[in-house]
Chains A and B, each alone.
Chain A
Amino acid sequence: MPQLTMTELWWCDECIKGTALMVKKLGALAQISNDPQLRNICHTLRQNHQRHLDILVNQIASV
């Protein structure tokens, strides 16, 4: 099984942190938005970021 390089680890770490922050942020923005369309967009994006976060974590765990 290949081992992650330090560079890969750093970039994955930053991606995970940024994605996790977007998940929190989109959840909060969806609650304060007035436009249902915008709220729906925030929900969709939040779900996508949540899924991305899972993918990244699983990817690192598999290495």
Chain B
Amino acid sequence: MLNLGLEGMMLVGAVTGFLAMNATGSVVPGVFAALAAGAALSAVHGFFSISVKADQVISGLGIVIVGTGLSAILGRSVIGTPPKDTFENVSVPLLGSIPGIGNVFFHQSALVYAGYLIVPVVWWTLRGTRLGLHLRACGENPAAADAMGVPVDLYRYGAVLFGGALAGLAGASLSLAEAPGWTEGMTAGRGWIALALVIFATWDPLRVLLGAYFFGVLDVLAFRAQLIGVHVPSTVLGMIPYGATILVLVLITALGARKRLGAPDALGLPYLREVR
């Protein structure tokens, strides 16, 4: 399943997360609202890609358009509103006091710890469980999975909804923790950078985490460079994450050219039982 709609799901997650937090005064409902909103939007993508068997590229791009529009409409009333609650950085006992890395990795918001947890769990689920095996079969060879009695469409729906919920959470991590507040288009292409990450991480969740840190570093460098007064305009610094993503994507694809680079065989293809 190809999900190009990440950017749209992140935006809707960011705005609903912020709205729910502002309505209740707590980040917890915000997180759940973001998860639900991301999943809801991904359900639309799932319906069109899986049940309608429409082109996944068009459906995904449609989700980005709808998500951008929807988030802008929903967020009209809260632009510039100060958040009532944000995620605070919490130190993990013991680990947080490790010299050097302790403060970097273990003095973070709860969402960062959730990330630490989700990545290995997803990795292990995909590699080490029957569920993961079935899921990968639905991506590699849905006809074979179907013949084995794996409900292909159900698995695909599950994967799309799970991914959508995570994308919503990613949006909320921006609007509730990283840069609390809502501005239109605040994800600024991160959903697309995430897609590039998956390609150069060759579909491996652990490598995705590494890649995500690499881009986190780039983001921070561009930001810090301004603070210490490097004489490069902010517009030029702002190009760095996008340029670096393109560069790394080209390099990795070139190095692994003509290999499939871990991409599922049936990526982007609807499963049509009748053409099996």
Chains A and B come from one and the same complex: no
- Residue positions of B touching A, CB distance < 8 A: none
A residues in contact (CB < 8 Å) with B: none
